[in-house]
Chains A and B, each alone.
Chain A
């Protein structure tokens, strides 16, 4: 199970990125535990200023805007296709 946190307040982009992560992970059978962090103080403690931010396994993977599917998949590279360099 990979811990994934979406950092962001209640905005359209934050909802969109949550949906996208869920979709990509279910398509590639990657088991994740998705959590939404809405508390400003906690968001700031990750040192990002542009939301939505994404934390994968305790590391900041993304900040600001909506990434494409390939980028999302690349966050999980080590669990989906560690040896396949063409995957993401």
Chain B
């Protein structure tokens, strides 16, 4: 049973990490708690649902849904946050605006589409289990693991090895200095919004595919875990988000499997609190003095 439980934990953790990837990017670079993130996750899943129903294969539907979610993210970002950026509003204003927006977006989607759970058409992905020794996994789960690895590698390469990445890092480090150096920070911020929206959309497709449950509020139910992962991992740290996500998944599964399923969440949150008590900036976060 243990190998299967570890695999369960790893796969659950991968979904958390996948969800948190774009969230931590948005958080870390734009320094904004953007609660609309969960909506792009929902949107990606719905875009893929409509595309696959129209007969488009997953290979095409996945990137298309990601790009679509990214573009919507840029639009919503421009609509909501440009004014706040210009006014140099504080963190809390962003929190509040995006909270209001995301309430309206989820409810609008539910009003338009109905709250029912939908699934991607059968046969979108092979649903048969794959046996790896004592472990059973599905193609969707392997796809999530693979996507996690590929997206992390691509993100790391983008941030570390390209001029664009240098710009993004400069923006994260000090937006004022970046602007003074002649960087088009507005365009750069839009780009980051696009990237994180697209990552959210891709995560929505893959997680919707795995759990077979696509509904307007699906992003909302991931948000709390997303917060935990991003903050336990350290704001803006891609590696931190991945490790925190995987750990959270494994801890939850092992608690449920060997301790008590009723305590699954309690143990996960207790560990979160303990982590913060001992490392106030998360596992991989930088101290406030450096960021200030």
Real complex partners, A and B?
no
| Residues of B near any A CB (own CB < 8 A) | none
Binding site for B on A (CB under 8 A): none
